[in-house]
Structure 1
Amino acid sequence: MFHKEGFKIILIAFALVVASFLVIDNFISFVWLRNILFFSCLAFLILILQFFRNPKRNGILNDNQVLSPVDGKVVVIEEVFEKEYFKEKRLQVSVFMSPINVHVTRYPIGGKVVFSKYHPGKFLVAWHPKASEENERTTVVVENEIFGKVLHRQIAGALAKRIVNYAKVGDQAIQASDSGFIKFGSRVDLFLPLGTKINVNLNDKVKGGESIIAEL
């Protein structure tokens, strides 16, 4: 199953690979070179398909828990001052996605979308300390009766050139459902209330919509 954001790119990639196969078959006479080119084109198509895959997730929905918004590796767990929305200290948990991870962004909690904003910006590497404030990004805040307000921020990386955000103020967010998509490598930051119990450690691998990041 592939994400809708990849349909156009997948079709273009497929057409390019088919065209390349025809050119290689008709104009390249060296067998060893033809094989290398064939396998290179096939590997390119497989990478595109893998990037836009959208596997079904079976996380247990629970208003007392915060699920990981994305697949990847936990790279930050610290108390910080969140400048954009809360303007106070929060617990930050950041998940870095490599180009081979699933890049669907999912709502970490269910509730009402109370804030959603897009920021154009730079394309620093996603793990850069200033990426959270200077890169292209979107900020979404969801509120429910259990956790209050939880912010998740999509951050573009050096390769990511487009962030898709589906969240609109007033929407009723369903935990683990699609919140957006980031193309080609990036990071998502979570900002949680102080005192929240964090259930992951640095360098842990997590799955969007399944792994429990935190709970009350």
Structure 2
Amino acid sequence: MFHKEGHKIIFVTLVIVVAALFLIDAYIELAWLRTILMLVMVFFLITILQFFRNPKRITQLNDHQILSPVDGKVVVIEEVFEKEFFKEKRIQVSVFMSPINVHVTRYPIGGQVVYSKYHPGKYLVAWHPKASEENERTTVVVENNTVGKILYRQIAGALAKRIVNYAKVNDTVKQGADSGFIKFGSRVDVFLPLDSKIKVELNQKVKGGESILAQSP
């Protein structure tokens, strides 16, 4: 299954690859060169297909747990001052996505969307300390009666030039459901209450909609 954000790109890529294969076969006489070029085009198509894959995830709904919004590796667990929405200290857990990770963003909790804002910005590498404040990004806050308000922020990386965010204020959303997509390498920051029980460690690999980042006390 492929994410709907990739349908157009996949179609265009497929047309280009098929046309290129036809031209290579028709006009390249050297067998070894023809084979190499064909393999390169097939590899390019496979890369695009794997980037936009959207595997089915089984989310165990639990209002006491905050799930990872994305696939990737935990690169930050620290207490910070969140100044856009909360304007107070929170625990930040950041997940870095490489180009080979699934790039679907999922809601970390179920509840109501109370804040959703897009910020244009730079394209620093996703792990840069200032990426969370200076890169292109979206900030979404979801609230429920059990864990309160949870903020997650999609951050574009050096290659990601477009963030897709489906969350709209007053939407009622389901934990683990599709909330957006980030194209080609990025990071997601999650801001948790200070009394949250963190369930992950630095460098741990997580899966969006399945891995538990934290639990409410």
> What TM-score, normalized by structure 1, do the two folds share?
1.00
Separation (CA, whole Å) in 2 of partners of 1:136 and 1:170 = 23
User: 1:75 matched to which residue of 2?
Assistant: 75
User: 1:179 matched to which residue of 2?
Assistant: 179
User: 2:121 matched to which residue of 1?
Assistant: 121
User: 2:45 matched to which residue of 1?
Assistant: 45
For residue 48 of structure 2, what is the amino acid of its counterpart?
Answer: I
Separation (CA, whole Å) in 2 of partners of 1:83 and 1:35 = 55
CA RMSD of aligned residues (A): 0.4
List gaps (5 residues or longer) in structure 1: none
Separation (CA, whole Å) in 2 of partners of 1:30 and 1:155 = 45
User: 1:156 matched to which residue of 2?
Assistant: 156
Shift of 1:59: 2.2
User: 1:135 matched to which residue of 2?
Assistant: 135
User: 1:85 matched to which residue of 2?
Assistant: 85
User: 2:8 matched to which residue of 1?
Assistant: 8
Q: How many pairs were matched up?
A: 216
Q: Deviations over 1:137-161 (max 9, x none)?
A: 0000000001100000000000000
For residue 85 of structure 1, what is the amino acid of its counterpart?
Answer: F
For residue 36 of structure 1, what is the amino acid of its counterpart?
Answer: I
Q: Deviations over 1:98-129 (max 9, x none)?
A: 00000000000000000000000000000000
For residue 197 of structure 2, what is the amino acid of its counterpart?
Answer: K
Identity of aligned residues (%): 75
> What TM-score, normalized by structure 2, do the two folds share?
0.99
User: 2:189 matched to which residue of 1?
Assistant: 189
SS at match of 2:213: strand
SS at match of 1:59: coil
Q: Deviations over 1:155-211 (max 9, x none)?
A: 000000000000000000110001110000000000000010000000000000000
For residue 57 of structure 2, what is the amino acid of its counterpart?
Answer: R
User: 1:166 matched to which residue of 2?
Assistant: 166
For residue 25 of structure 1, what is the amino acid of its counterpart?
Answer: D
SS at match of 1:45: helix
User: 1:109 matched to which residue of 2?
Assistant: 109
List gaps (5 residues or longer) in structure 2: none
Separation (CA, whole Å) in 2 of partners of 1:13 and 1:30 = 25
SS at match of 1:48: helix
Q: Deviations over 1:27-62 (max 9, x none)?
A: 000000011001100000000000000000012110
Report whether the alignment pairs 1:58 with 2:58: yes
User: 1:30 matched to which residue of 2?
Assistant: 30
SS at match of 2:127: coil
SS at match of 1:128: coil
Separation (CA, whole Å) in 1 of partners of 2:207 and 2:32 = 40
